[in-house]
Amino acid sequence: MASATINPTRMELNRLKGRLKTATRGHKLLKDKRDELMKQFLEIVRRNRVLRRKVEEGLEKANAAFTVASALMSPEMLEQALLYPKQSVELDMTFQNIMSVNVPRYAFHTKNEDPAEIYPYGFAQTSGELDAALEALSNVFHDMLELAEVEKTMQLLAEDIEKTRRRVNALEYVMIPGFQEKIRYISMKLDENERGNITRLMKVKDMVLQEAHDFKQPANG
Amino acid sequence: MYKIAVLGDRDSVLGFKALGLDIFPIEGVEEGRQELHKLAKEEYAIIYVTEQLAQSIRADIDRYKTSVTPAVILIPGKGGSLGLGAQALQSAVERAVGADIG
């Protein structure tokens, strides 16, 4: 231990005791924080898993339809059909505080309210598969947004849990034992000094008595 | 007001245009990397990246993991899912728990 560098004084002892108290309190609080974060995190992970499966299935369907569409139509036609979207999406972002971690919440609104307005082309020159592809995409879009929210939340929480976990461990295994060790060292040193002092006093007392005795004897004799 | 971007090969992202998202067809890896960083600086809150592109620019994507914006989300491209999204989930769990809990 670094006990060689600390002063075995009563003041230092008091200071260390104070720090130990703070560290213990902090440790308890951080541990509670970690446990609660963990609870939220596992919930998010569960949601994320479900959403991801849904989104991947939906997108696979959309991609399959899209591949057929692009096989049936020339690339130029396809590009032309999708060139000017009728729809546009704007995203609002607010923040939610989960155990002092700020996570984003997304809300989006579309310029065109009508859900049938996703087809930016006339139906005459495009294949039906393109319609199917776009429909599949728009179906999955809600889940995609939610997935983005959940996944970002998960990443941010994971980071914070890691940080908190490290702090808890540092307090539990380094700081608090260190303080306890130092406090033990100082109090033992102080006790030792105290014992040394008592022995010295007793010795002095003996010497004083002896001297008084020796002083008396020649006077008597 | 924030926007949503979709990054990936042309065939995978074209459809999103009709939904009103901003699409950025990417040809090469280097182009994708530059585009990602450019979009991250702009007001894109969500950037969807196809897994096919993501697997070659993984380090660049990981850089945005700890920042609040943008959220870089992997989606399967036209080649189907590579399981990278599920892998990202796994690594987040590992990071939080400190061990692989399956």
Domain contains A115? no
ipTM of the complex: 0.87
Closest-CA residue of chain B to A149: B71
Give the contacts of A200 (CB within 8 A, at least 6 positions apart): none
Sorted by where each starts, the structural domains of chain B and their CATH numbers stand as 3-97 (3.40.50.10580)
Domain contains A193? no
Domain, as residue range, for A155:
8-84+126-183
Q: For the domain that residue A30 is a member of, what is the CATH number?
A: 1.10.287.3240
> Considering the entire predicted model, what is its pTM?
0.82
Question: Which of A108, A111, A148 faces B73 most closely, judged by CB atoms?
Answer: A148
Question: Given CA atoms B95, B97, B101, B102 in this order, what sign does their dihedral have?
Answer: negative
* Confidence (pLDDT) at A117: 64
Domain contains A146? yes
Whether A1 shows a pLDDT value over 60: the answer reads no
Domain contains A161? yes
Q: How confident is the model at residue A127 (pLDDT cuts 50, 70, 90)?
A: confident
Question: Which of A49, A110, A137 faces B89 most closely, judged by CB atoms?
Answer: A49
Q: How large is the average pLDDT for residues B69-98?
A: 82
Domain contains A216? no
Q: Where are the alpha helices (DSSP H) in A73-127?
A: 75-82
Domain contains A208? no
Portion 130-149 of A in contact with B at CB < 8 A: 133-134, 137-138, 141, 144-145, 147-149
Give the contacts of A144 (CB within 8 A, at least 6 positions apart): A55, B48, B73, B75
Domain contains A221? no
**Span A196-220, pLDDT tens digits:** 999 999 999 999 999 888 877 765 5
Q: How confident is the model at residue A142 (pLDDT cuts 50, 70, 90)?
A: confident
Whether A2 shows a pLDDT value over 60: the answer reads no
Record the tokens describing residue A35, joined without a space: 């446990």
Domain contains A91? no
The residue type found at A163 is: K
What is the domain count for chain A?
A: 1
B89–A45 C-beta distance less than 8 A: yes
**Span A24-47, pLDDT tens digits:** 999 999 999 999 999 999 999 999
Sequence-separated contacts (24+) of A122-131 with Cβ below 8 Å: A125/A77, A125/A81, A126/A69, A126/A73, A126/A77, A126/A81, A127/A68, A127/A69, A127/A72, A127/A73, A129/A65, A129/A66, A129/A68, A129/A69, A129/A72, A130/A65, A130/A66, A130/A69, A130/A73, A130/A78, A130/A81
A40/A18 Cα distance (integer angstroms)? 33
Q: How large is the average pLDDT for residues A38-58?
A: 91
